[in-house]
A and B are shown apart, each in its own frame.
Chain A
Amino acid sequence: MTSGEAQSPGAASPFRRVEDAVGRALVGALDAISTRTFAVHQAALLRIGYGLVFLVSLLREYLNRREIWGDRSAWSPDMARELLNGIEGVSLLLESDSRWWFEGVYLAAIVVSALFVLGWHTRATSILFAVMVVSFNSRSILMTDGGDTVLLLMSIYLAFAACGRVWSLDARRARRTGVRPGTGPGHEVGVLVGLIAMVVLGTTCRGDSWAVHPEFSFAFVCRWIWLPGILVVFGALWRLPREVEQVRAGLVTAIHNCALFVIAAEVCFIYGAAGLYKVQGSYWQDGTAMHYVLNLEYFAPWPGVSHTLAANTEMGVLISYLTVFIQVGFVFMLFAKRVKYVAIVILLGMHFGIAVLLGLPAFSASMSVGDALFLPTAFLIWTRSRVIGRLTARLRRGPAAPARAPADPRPPAVPPASDGPAGLSPTASRA
């Protein structure tokens, strides 16, 4: 039975078959990485989330802006330069010491983060956003806390991700005009914004005044990236040959997927490291950590509540242990679907507690947005439709009641609904 036909290929075939299978899997994986844009909705949510965190913090600190980053800061520009010299840091805010430069950059940062939230020419805006976040961080490093670090890392990573493919002005424009991300006519505004982004990036990273490390470093890359960047941005004005366009799209997709992997890894690192450091601490082991944390004056906006909670030792032990378990186990829980969601819900609850009790809403928001990366797409879509649906319903009910009469021209606004099915097949009909 296992005669000639089985034997002659049998000698070589198990290996060849494995070889073929491995080869096919490899090719398939590389194809998938460069053609499938994974987690588009999660990336968009991260864009909106981190954009809002930065925007709100800029608005919140508006009255203190000069003390924190500006001309009235105890951390003078010269001191900032001295510190950044050693670590090759850069900041757009240090280009000039004039007050009006500072005010201008502050205003620009507000506008940029608002546009980033809205997803307006997202790629260019995301680069500007990262430049702004880096600039404000580097200007006053001693003003930052963990939340600022998360925001800094994520803003850089998001510049590599295609985070404007959905829930953005870009997506809306693509639906309406048929001009999709890529190159060719219709991208003139995008090219202009991209050029501005490159000029700002180049200005920020000029760094002629501070030391240049001879060896390779990110600072070195950052210093020169705008040069090829300008060429790439200009190139987008012309429609590329089909093959080049395909390669370009593949590269963009691959980088997006890699960036999202890095973001996921980063979230795991944060929880893993935070958990493993805590395991080493005696207070976390004997469960008194909560007692100490809740008694720290700088993290007690509501001292009465904090002291009451700190006095409850049993609950303190429970929360201390739960914190360590979830943080250490987060990476592993991600691999079990149902457990993962339990972990995320607990973490969100923890972050809510940190936001309110420790007075760290920006930090908590940054961490929560990172967690959202692990939520399923369908849940995000369902939540969005519910939230937006309710919001628009309320808005329509609210102002429409007094403005019923002028709402007559509203019917033209309704057709977008009939516009919907056409939008499902991405706009090809109108393109």
Chain B
Amino acid sequence: MQSPDDAVPGQPVDRSKPEVESGAAAVGTATGGPTTDSGPAPGTPSPAVRIPEQAGERSPVDVPTDTAVPAEERRSIAVRSVTAVFAVLAILVTLVHVFFVFLHVAPSNALTKEYQKETGTWVYPYFEQNWALFAPNPMSENFRVQAQSRVRGPDGGVVESDWSDLTLDDLNHIRGNPYPSKADQNMIRRAWSSYSDSHDAKDESAIGSRGPLTQRYLRRIVVHRFQDAGLNRSLESIRIRVATTAIGKPDASPAPTTSYRTLGWWETKPDDFR
């Protein structure tokens, strides 16, 4: 705080830079100090001396290349008018875009309902977004996707496997990994959430048009996991259950209960295998 304040009047005529920027430099370094804490103790006295000359004096690398036409070059009235028209157009598009993105991000209200169709047209597919991150509430339970297989044996009999925990495989990859893979962190997690969003929890009937697609995705993931585990095309059908365990309140410690949602047996299709 103190040192940059000293520094600015210290070298007032040094640079012809606008005041705003040198002011910003002073504040920026004030907050920059704590961030770049890596600098050892001797870093503390030096900024007052070093920053203004380093921040103010741009090395050629820091000077932006101008367009072929220098910005300060004289422009005729015609050029200025045409440019202004374009600029106004660009500003209008910008405002419309920001308006629609705002409506898209905002919770449902009178305005969003009125412009729902226009918003959808403008926003999909490239500007779709949802920032309810761990909100309104973070999930209060953990889920494990588990799967069971039915394999036709060489004698024609059907062998039913035990439940295997696919989520646990993911977790084993995630644990101790500073940069977990999407394949472990997002695949089953999002496949299950999109399935449960588009299916009735009671009778597993599809809600909306994406039901079949999400079911197929989930089935294929499980088939692929079984393939990775060594099964081949003799895998006839699979069954999924999801074990949900409540996290529980921080202080109360009743033993967390686990509930199961078991889906029906799904027959595998030839193109499920890879």
A-side interface residues toward B, CB under 8 Å? Answer: 27, 30-31, 33-37, 40-41, 60-61, 64, 67-68, 71-72, 74-76, 79, 82-84, 86-90, 134, 138, 142-146, 149, 152-153, 156, 165-167, 170-171, 174-175, 180-184, 213, 215-219, 222, 242-243, 245-247, 249-255, 258, 261-262, 265-266, 269-270, 272-274, 276-278, 280-284, 288-289, 291-293, 295-303, 310-311, 313, 316, 337-338, 341-342, 344-345, 348, 356, 359, 361-362, 375-379, 381-386, 419-421, 423-424, 426
Known: A180-B66, A251-B90, A284-B135. 9 other contacts (CB 8 A): A33-B87, A60-B179, A261-B94, A277-B107, A277-B133, A298-B174, A341-B27, A376-B24, A426-B63
Please give, as numbers and ranges, the residues of chain B lying within 8 Å of A281 by CB-CB distance: 135-138
Q: B177-198: which have CB < 8 Å to A?
A: 177-183, 185-187, 189-191, 194
Which partner residue on chain A sits nearest B170 by CB separation? Answer: A298
Contact A213 B27 (CB under 8 A): no
CB distance from B173 to the nearest CB of A (A): 10
Contact A376 B60 (CB under 8 A): no
Contact B83 A262 (CB under 8 A): no
Q: B117-142: which have CB < 8 Å to A?
A: 121-122, 124-140, 142
Please give, as numbers and ranges, the residues of chain B lying within 8 Å of A379 by CB-CB distance: 24-25, 28-29, 32, 55
Please give, as numbers and ranges, the residues of chain A lying within 8 Å of B182 by CB-CB distance: 61, 64, 68, 143-145
Contact A250 B190 (CB under 8 A): no
From known contacts A87-B125, A251-B86, A310-B250, infer whether A337 and B170 are also in contact, taking CB-CB under 8 Å.
Answer: no
Which partner residue on chain A sits nearest B228 by CB separation? Answer: A67
From known contacts A269-B101, A274-B132, infer whether A381 and B58 are also in contact, taking CB-CB under 8 Å.
Answer: yes
Contact A345 B35 (CB under 8 A): yes
Contact B181 A278 (CB under 8 A): no
Q: Give the complex CA separation of A30 and B89 in angstroms.
A: 11
Please report whether the interface of chain A is mostly helix, strand, loop or mixed according to DSSP: helix
Q: Give the complex CA separation of A178 and B245 in angstroms.
A: 65
CB distance from A127 to the nearest CB of B (A): 14
Contact A356 B178 (CB under 8 A): yes
Contact B142 A295 (CB under 8 A): yes
B-side interface residues toward A, CB under 8 Å? Answer: 21-25, 27-32, 34-36, 51, 54-56, 58-69, 71-73, 75-76, 78-80, 82-84, 86-88, 90-91, 93-94, 97-98, 101-102, 105-107, 121-122, 124-140, 142, 167, 170-171, 174-183, 185-187, 189-191, 194, 209-210, 213, 216-217, 220-221, 223-224, 247, 249-251, 271, 274
Which partner residue on chain A sits nearest B136 by CB separation? Answer: A281
CB distance from B195 to the nearest CB of A (A): 10
Q: Which of these, A61, A180, A375, contacts B181 with CB under 8 Å?
A: A61
From known contacts A61-B181, A277-B136, A375-B28, infer whether A180 and B65 are also in contact, taking CB-CB under 8 Å.
Answer: yes
Contact B87 A30 (CB under 8 A): yes
Contact A376 B90 (CB under 8 A): no
Which partner residue on chain A sits nearest B144 by CB separation? Answer: A297
Contact A423 B190 (CB under 8 A): no
Please give, as numbers and ranges, the residues of chain B lying within 8 Å of A359 by CB-CB distance: 174, 177-180, 185
From known contacts A288-B250, A356-B178, infer whether A383 and B125 are also in contact, taking CB-CB under 8 Å.
Answer: no
Q: Which of these, B90, B179, B189, contacts A298 with CB under 8 Å?
A: B189
CB distance from B55 to the nearest CB of A (A): 4
CB distance from A232 to the nearest CB of B (A): 14
Q: Which of these, A76, A156, A385, A424, contacts B63 with CB under 8 Å?
A: A424
Q: Which of these, B34, B59, B142, contacts A345 with CB under 8 Å?
A: B34
Please give, as numbers and ranges, the residues of chain B lying within 8 Å of A41 by CB-CB distance: 62, 64
Contact B64 A171 (CB under 8 A): yes
Please give, as numbers and ranges, the residues of chain B lying within 8 Å of A67 by CB-CB distance: 183, 187, 224
Q: Give the complex CA separation of A394 and B2 in angstroms.
A: 32
Q: Which of these, B90, B132, B133, B183, contacts A68 with CB under 8 Å?
A: B183
Please give, as numbers and ranges, the residues of chain A lying within 8 Å of B185 by CB-CB distance: 145, 298-299, 359
Contact B250 A35 (CB under 8 A): no
Which partner residue on chain A sits nearest B67 by CB separation? Answer: A249
CB distance from A411 to the nearest CB of B (A): 20
Contact A295 B247 (CB under 8 A): yes
Please give, as numbers and ranges, the residues of chain B lying within 8 Å of A249 by CB-CB distance: 67-69, 71
Number of A-B contacts (CB under 8 A): 354
Contact A74 B181 (CB under 8 A): no
Which partner residue on chain A sits nearest B248 by CB separation? Answer: A295
Contact A254 B90 (CB under 8 A): yes
From known contacts A269-B105, A289-B138, infer whether A34 and B87 are also in contact, taking CB-CB under 8 Å.
Answer: yes
CB distance from B91 to the nearest CB of A (A): 6
Contact A269 B102 (CB under 8 A): yes
Contact B73 A289 (CB under 8 A): no
Which partner residue on chain B sits nearest A288 by CB separation? Answer: B250
Q: Give the complex CA separation of A298 and B34 in angstroms.
A: 32
> Nearest 7 A-B pairs (CB), nearest first?
A182-B68, A423-B60, A378-B25, A379-B28, A281-B136, A376-B24, A341-B31
Which partner residue on chain B sits nearest A266 by CB separation? Answer: B101
Please give, as numbers and ranges, the residues of chain A lying within 8 Å of B127 by CB-CB distance: 153, 156, 218
Contact B124 A87 (CB under 8 A): yes
Please give, as numbers and ranges, the residues of chain B lying within 8 Å of A269 by CB-CB distance: 101-102, 105, 131
Please give, as numbers and ranges, the residues of chain A lying within 8 Å of B124 by CB-CB distance: 87-88, 217-219
* Sampled A-B contacts (18; CB under 8 Å): A30-B88, A72-B224, A74-B224, A90-B125, A145-B186, A146-B133, A182-B67, A213-B121, A249-B68, A258-B93, A277-B131, A292-B137, A313-B251, A341-B31, A359-B178, A359-B185, A378-B21, A378-B56
Contact A88 B187 (CB under 8 A): no
CB distance from A76 to the nearest CB of B (A): 7
From known contacts A61-B182, A252-B67, A270-B131, infer whether A283 and B138 are also in contact, taking CB-CB under 8 Å.
Answer: yes
Q: Give the complex CA separation of A210 and B40 in angstroms.
A: 60
Please give, as numbers and ranges, the residues of chain A lying within 8 Å of B36 by CB-CB distance: 383, 386
Q: Give the complex CA separation of A361 and B179 in angstroms.
A: 6
Please give, as numbers and ranges, the residues of chain A lying within 8 Å of B32 by CB-CB distance: 379, 382-383
Q: Which of these, A181, A250, A337, contacts B65 with CB under 8 Å?
A: A181
